Amino acid sequence: MKDKHSIYRFIAYSLELLTLFVLQQSPQALPIISNCKPNLVLAALVIIILFEGAIISLWFSIFVGLLLDAALGIIPGTQAILLCILGYFIGYIAQNYFKKNILTALIISMLSIIIFYHMQFLLLYILKGYSEILYAYLNKCIPTIIYTWSTVIILYLPTKFFALCIKEKQDFVNLENLST
């Protein structure tokens, strides 16, 4: 029974991530601010990491990483490796040291998004030898971080709904105990 609920929850997460992926990829679906669009998939992933712990976060991080690699047309696994390491550690820390509420979600997501985007900027911009590093950092990397982080507030509720509602009752009690 526990496995059945977990499977439903993971399917819900997967559908949510795929829907957000399609939304963020669609050319005119999201408003463009300062030449940037938010990375909704990353924002949703961070919330999933907060609720699911290290091992599950690892798998979903790989899934999201592969999606992002496909979207950019780069070697599959480039961002997947980044995200799976990040997801595992953030998931471990969140599971053992943090309560699950909107405030911790905002803090953890901010840290995760900052770390991810800095690593991505290093890998996909600086190490590729592109010029105007500071300009690109200030005009692309930072606005994208802020814009992506601002969507965490919107995505927190639906992801929390999946995390809390598609669970066994015993898991509910454990989760509530962890939160208090």
Partner 1 sequence: MRDFFKSRGFKLLLVAVVILLCLVLFTLITKIEFLSSQFSFITAPIQKVGTEVSEAICELLPDSTSSEEYKNKIKDLEEEIERLRAITIDYYNIKKENIQYKEFCEFKKTHANLNFLVSSVVGRSPDEHFQGFTVDQGASSGIKIGNPVVTSKGLVGHVSSVGEISCHINTILSPEAKIGCICAETGDCGVISGNFKLCEQNLTRMIYLSPGYTLQPQNLIVTSGLGGAYPKDLVIGKVTAVKSDENNASKYAIIEPTEDIPNTKDVLIILGEK
Min separation Cβ 103 and partner 1, Å: 26
Minimum CB separation of residue 78 from partner 1 in Å reads 11
Distance CA 39, CA 28 (A): 14
Closer residue to partner 1 in complex, CB, 30/175: 30
Q: Which of 1, 35, 103, 169 binds partner 1 (CB under 8 A)?
A: 35
CB of 16 to partner 1, least distance (A): 17
Site for partner 1 in 121-160 (CB under 8 A): 124-125, 129-132, 135-136, 139-140, 144, 148
Structure tokens at 136: 């690109």
Residue closer to partner 1 by CB (options 38, 87) is: 38
Q: What share of the chain is helix, strand, coil (3-state, %, to 5)?
A: 80, 0, 20
* Max CA separation in the chain (angstroms): 55
Q: Does 92 bind partner 1 (CB under 8 A)?
A: no
Ramachandran region, residue 36 (left: φ > 0; alpha: ψ -120 to 50; beta: rest): beta
Measured in degrees and rounded to the nearest 5, phi and psi for residue 36 equal: -125, 150
Token pair in block for residue 67:
């999606």
Choosing from 74, 126, 154, 165, the residue that interacts with partner 1 (CB under 8 A) is: 74
Q: What radius of gyration, in Å, describes the C-alpha atoms of the chain?
A: 16
> Nearest-CA neighbor of 153 among 116, 110, 118, 111?
110
Residue nearer to partner 1 on the CB measure, 112 or 120: 120
CB closer to partner 1 out of 95 and 112: 112
Which residues here bind partner 1, judged by CB under 8 A?
24-27, 30, 35-39, 68, 70-74, 120, 124-125, 129-132, 135-136, 139-140, 144, 148
